[in-house]
Amino acid sequence: MDIPSQITIRTKKLGVLIRDARLASRRTLDECARAIGVSRGVFKAYEEGRRAPSLPELEILVYFLNLPIDHFWSREAISDDPPPTEPLDLARLVGLRQRMIGALLRAERMNASISMKVLSQKTGISPSRLKAYELGERPIPLPQLEGLLTVLGGQIETFFDESGPIGQWMMRQQAIKDFLDLPPELQEFVCKPVNRPYLELALKLSAMSTEKLRSVAEGLLDITL
């Protein structure tokens, strides 16, 4: 399947997931539209698969709805935690993230040694629009960003916010999910304060080189013999 067709199908699927997330969070179209800084009509178009949000808009949406971003890659894992209450300038964050993603996209294209003309031919996105995307002048609809990264050999995960307040929140959500995925006996072990020294030791051991670990193991063997 060619990239333009993939983008169209992904846009439709994304719309279904966005509507599902909104309904599960008991939010209205107007509330979600205001949260990410678009009109009600634009957000409705997102849900109907006629348009697609950019990654920064999607990041703001998951923050607003309090759910993990991987929900939009067909993983059903909606958090029951209360929504964050820390006030944020969401509109400013969207603009900042658009520019950051544009810079990352340009870096991916340069690393792949692909000209804007060739990228345009492979994705069906005009060179002028690609230039606007790279400069952060226009938001990149998520399916188009995924299509661009398919051509460039990049990964969408490398574009996720990690350092900003929403990125930190998403990392905490993922950490909670990872903990809940542990077997019950490991969860119990981790939660006991008396086991903290063992966890700290495991952390130090995990950072050691293979040679250092071998040396430690040989030392322990000498002690036990």
Structure tokens that stand for 121 in this block = 């031919």
pLDDT for res 84: 47
Domains of the chain, CATH where assigned: 3-159 (1.10.260.40), 183-224 (no CATH)
Is 26 or 177 the better-scoring residue by pLDDT? 26
Query: What's the mean pLDDT in 150-174?
Result: 85
How does pLDDT run across 65-112, given as a tens digit for each residue? 988 888 888 655 344 444 444 566 777 888 888 999 999 999 999 999
> In the prediction, which pLDDT does 77 show?
38
- In the prediction, which pLDDT does 13 show? 86
